[in-house]
Amino acid sequence: MSVSALLFPGQGSHAEGMEDPFRGHPLLQRGLELLGYDPFDRLAEGTRYQQPALFLCSVAAWATWRESGEGADTRPAAAAGHSLGEYAALVAAEALAFDDAVVLVDERAAAMADAAALQPGGMVALLGGDAVAVRALALRLGLTVANDNAPGQVVLSGPLEAVAAAEEAAREETGARARRLDVGGAFHSPLMEPAAERLAAALAHTPVAQPRLPVYANGSAAPFADVRRELAENLLRPVRWRETLLAMRAAGVERFVELGPGAVLTALVKRTLAAA
């Protein structure tokens, strides 16, 4: 049996109708009860509702997979989630109770949406190009490298004016193609400081257990050492996804199982491992 790791997607993997395969699943229904609203009806309104909706789908996908023949025959050796996906990964590892995670994700979404309204920002993906030049461009414009997703796929985050300047200069200064992301704020940047403070306050009252399998944290590309502290800090830290995949591979993981809407993370796995 191959050594497997579970992967859970983050915001950006959401899509209309993603909940259809899971309507009626007990976990999804329980999540809707705890929220007191249906986030799937309000996906177009952005972060505030996209995050709870995606979390519920990811956990329902994990539960469905676990109950299936494939899941029953697989004992994962590790898990990781891209940004928001960390919460589903921690539920799968039994570090967070599902009910507590729903409340946390709801507060995270609200805090990030509020922080974005307070200090408007955005994100831009730079595809291809020279990695050193991309980081130099970010430094020149005062942007944060928010996501290192795979070789040739880096996301910059920060004030709207600086993001627009990066779009304009990317091709000439780095050789990369710029693509503005459809997000409501400068996530994983210092502009999320108010959200990190709110999340830390919520986490302080949340029970956390020792994970039953290693869950790799975005900010360190290593297993969580302090779940409460790192979850809050990760709102400000880059998502070191490329390094996370390589670290899990070095730890012996041979197979990656993506659980949630879409297949974005599977594509990043292929790209990262092909370049390793």
Active-site residue identified among 4, 82, 188, 189: 188
Query: How many Å apart are CA 106 and CA 101, to the nearest integer?
Result: 8
Return the minimum-mean-pLDDT range out of 71-75, 209-213, 218-222: 71-75
Residue 220 annotated among the catalytic residues of the structure: no
Could you tell me what percent of the chain has a pLDDT over 90?
92
pLDDT in the model for residue 13: 86
Residue pointed to by tokens 């994983």: 188
| pTM, entire model | 0.96
Q: What value does the mean pLDDT of the chain take?
A: 96
Q: What is the pLDDT of residue 71?
A: 63
Which residue type sits at 151?
A: P
Convert the pLDDT of each residue in 220-254 to its tens digit. 999 999 999 999 999 999 999 999 999 999 999 99
pLDDT digits (tens, 9 = 90+) for 4-45: 999 999 998 888 999 999 999 999 999 999 999 999 999 999
Residue 2 annotated in active site: no
d(C-alpha 213, C-alpha 92), whole Å: 9
Catalytic member of 83, 157, 205, 220:
83
pLDDT over 70 percentage in the chain = 99
- The stretch 173-193 carries a mean pLDDT of 96
